[in-house]
Structure 1
């Protein structure tokens, strides 16, 4: 595998020098400063590319070239935004960057209710608690008609949970759920999120899937022509939040997307954490079924505490069978004769970095630990396979 690490650009508290010392040669990043929907110019791409090269690495994967909300809703200026997307793809290809990650999650990129769950050893991890989210939705956000989405039992459980929270706990929960996208330090406000939700009225899973497939019917042929691989990131978490539709959560979803647009450029960012948070997903079977569509790897693990709670776990210790997954990926790369880019995802925050400005899940030491573990596991598997 080609080891990479994510960098959020010049404003990232973690420098390229720090990342280079982790032993990676590839950088996963984006032009976060460009408004969503605007064209990524060749000049802007090359400027960022040169910054990374001067630090001794290459920009190997874009994460993400974001999809404008108008495209997801198929309204407003969505046709122009699709044309802009095509131009950005061509410009990236002209600069030699050909793996493009994106997602089709409405409004929110990923959601957690706790960004500092304390593990037994004192390190901190990301956690999602459905009961906490229900309390946020019902009694903090108070979106219109929210009570219709919950049973009386769920409402009472949420009330009981809320009774255990202080005012500062409630404020932190609100902030955690509506944290801005990676690379951003701006949270959504209640008014902003309610307006955005209003704009999704009438858009269910079927409609959102249709809009995704239309988008792909426009951009995938361009990607194919210019040798670009699109890698859609699964929904995180892989179920509806705030009543919003989800269409990249299950194996059935993947089949719908790849069947509708069979070009190989229409591919997958294989995220073991996002897919693994849905217990009915068979991560090994996904490799068997869609291995030729896997263009980028996010390796992390999760622990499902119960039906309501999952948390990020150590990369090698969780509910996902990482050893067998990695063996399948090694065999897949041998079969395809490629070295897929991989980045360790959502590392723990260790005490040595406590108090420093870190984006949740993206502390340096936690990701370095994950990278070392994954690299060692891969080398062990390769050695084992060479003996057989």
Structure 2
């Protein structure tokens, strides 16, 4: 398991590279060019700037998260051809700085949905929270205002340029079914996978967050069956999954450890986090400990260990603790604690394995 840490870039993150360097076992940065809009080409010059910053601290840039997919591709519009060609150029350019995995998603309009970015928990910390009942009754514009009210840092998936056309965007999707979305994803992958494979890059789709329809929009990456269908589109080694235990774990029917054991050869990148699910379908993000949430993190890590996982992993969203002022879900302290918990589990399993072998 290769440990990484998501970093939003110089001037766009409250966490510094110097701080990340002090977290044991972190080898690389999970990065992106967040100032670019979906559909733009990531130039060689731009990606080289990030490489120069990472090189100062000895970090690799093996994992990109995300080169966002333009809505015209998801909608299957004739203009998608131009944006797919741009995507191919971006693949080629990130390969020049050593990228091995590109995490992407195919979620219409909203990349992720929460109703409270700083919900207070019993211990005084705060965390990202999804109120299921509130989402059923709120207007999409209310959600946009809630999520983007702090414009000091970029919010991936909630870019102002895209969201200012929200009404027409939502209208465009009214005639798009889940089957249509699958067809558009298939077309996209058939176009880009040869380029990814030629450049030694694995495309790793991220599950929908949460794994069900929001505001009537189609969502297709929600379950074990979804992953099975995605992988059946192409047997290319570049067609893979970013297995996110938090996104899929918001649905208690999803057995994350089972998915890892079944699909481990097609998981180049793992997001490991925990969520606590309430009876009404709401959920809040917790510490990484199994006892604090509804996802069996101990079994998740065991599944990766048992299958000999050598891919990339990162702690996903953390709580906001010790009065840290940070991007929602992406502070330093709780994610660093999460890494140490994951390493603790991994090292314990490794110790047991070595004991058995000796």
Distance 1:211 1:178, change over 3 A: farther
Q: Per-residue deviation at 1:67?
A: 0.6
Q: Per-residue deviation at 1:80?
A: 1.1
Distance 1:128 1:312, change over 3 A: same
Matched residue, 1:127: 129
Matched residue, 2:302: 327
- Residue correspondence of structure 1 range 1-388 to structure 2 within 5 A: 1-10=1-10, 11-23=12-24, 24-137=26-139, 141=141, 175-176=145-146, 182=155, 192-317=165-290, 318-333=293-308, 339-353=310-324, 356=325, 358-388=326-356
- Quick one: distance in 2 between partners of 1:185 and 1:365? 25
Q: TM-score, normalized by length of structure 2?
A: 0.92
Q: Per-residue deviation at 1:261?
A: 1.4
Question: 1:229-281: CA deviations, max 9, x gaps?
Answer: 11100000000001100011111111111112121210000100011111221
Q: Per-residue deviation at 1:95?
A: 2.4
Q: Per-residue deviation at 1:76?
A: 4.4
Contact 2:112 2:209 in 1 (8 A): yes
Contact 1:110 1:235 in 2 (8 A): yes
Question: 1:310-340: CA deviations, max 9, x gaps?
Answer: 1112111321111121111012226xxxx22
Q: Per-residue deviation at 1:112?
A: 0.5
- Quick one: distance in 1 between partners of 2:146 and 2:225? 30
- Quick one: distance in 2 between partners of 1:377 and 1:302? 18
Contact 1:12 1:183 in 2 (8 A): no
RMSD, matched Cα: 2.1
Give the number of aligned pairs. 349
- Quick one: distance in 1 between partners of 2:163 and 2:73? 23
- Quick one: distance in 2 between partners of 1:136 and 1:86? 38
Aligned-partner SS, 1:240: coil
- Quick one: distance in 1 between partners of 2:167 and 2:232? 34
Q: TM-score, normalized by length of structure 1?
A: 0.85
- Moved beyond 4 Å, runs of 4+: 177-181, 183-191
Aligned-partner SS, 2:89: helix
Aligned-partner SS, 1:26: strand
- Quick one: distance in 2 between partners of 1:295 and 1:190? 31
Contact 2:110 2:158 in 1 (8 A): no
Residue segments in structure 2 that go unaligned for 5+ positions in a row: none
- Quick one: distance in 2 between partners of 1:193 and 1:384? 53
